[in-house]
Amino acid sequence: MAAERSKVADLEANHNFLRKQLEDAKTQELLKQRELSNVSDEIEALKKRHARELKDLEFDLKREVIAAKDELANMKSRHARELMDLEMDVKKREREIQQLQEDLRLCRGDLERERETVSTLKSTISHQSNARIALGTENHALQSQKTALQTELDMYLATISSLNLKLEASQKEIDALKHETMEAETARRKLHNMVQELKGNIRVFCRVRPVLPSDLPSPETPPDSSSANIAFPDRLDHKEIVVASSSESATGQERKEVYNFNFDRVFEPESSQAEVFEEISLLAQSCTDGYNVCVFAYGQTGSGKSFTMEGGPTATSSGMIPRAVEQVFQVAEELKRKGWEYKMEGQFLEIYNETINDLLGKGEFDKKKHEIKHDPKTNSTRVTDANVVPLHSPTQVRSLLAVAQSRRSVAATLMNERSSRSHSVFTLRISGHNVNTGERSEGSLNLVDLAGSERLNASGTAADKDRLKETQSINRSLSALGDVIAALGEKGEKGDKHIPYRNSKLTYLLQNSLSGNSKTLMILNLSPLAAHLNESLTSLRFATKVNNTTIGTAKKQVRTS
**Residue type present at position 507:** T
Reduced to 3 states (helix: H, G, I; strand: E, B; else coil), residue 559 is: strand
The Cα–Cα gap between 423 and 297 comes to 10
Contacts (Cβ under 8 Å, ≥6 apart) of 136: none
- Give the Cα separation of 207 and 526 in Å (integer): 6
C-alpha pair distances (Å), 540 with each of 98, 113, 174, 206, 524: 96, 95, 41, 8, 8
Q: What is the number of other CB atoms lying within 10 angstroms of the CB of residue 211?
A: 20
Q: What stretch of H or E contains 474?
A: helix 465-494
Buried b (16+ CB within 10 A) or exposed e, 390-422: ebeebebbbebbeebeebbbebebebbeebbbb
Query: Which residues fall in the annotated binding site for ATP?
Result: 299-306
Longest dimension (CA), the chain: 154
The helix/strand/coil state of 84 is: helix
Q: Using CB atoms within 10 Å of the CB of residue 90, give its burial: 0 to 12 exposed, 13 to 18 middle, 19+ buried.
A: middle
Please state whether beta strands 380-383 and 389-391 pair in parallel, antiparallel, or not at all (unpaired): unpaired
Chain CA centroid to CA 487, Å: 44
DSSP state of 237: T
Alpha carbons 293 and 284: distance in angstroms, whole number: 7
Residue type, 391: L
Residues contacting 343, CB < 8 A, separation 6+? 390, 430, 431, 432
For residue 430, the 8-state DSSP code is E
**Range 234-238 contact pairs with CB under 8 angstroms and sequence separation of 24 or more:** 234/266, 238/265, 238/266, 238/267, 238/268
Interacting residues of 560 by C-beta distance below 8 A, sequence separation 6+: 437, 438, 439, 440
Q: What is the total residue count of the chain? A: 561
Q: Which of 495, 499, 505, 504 is nearest to 487 (CA)?
A: 499
Q: How far apart are CA 561 and CA 341, in angstroms?
A: 14
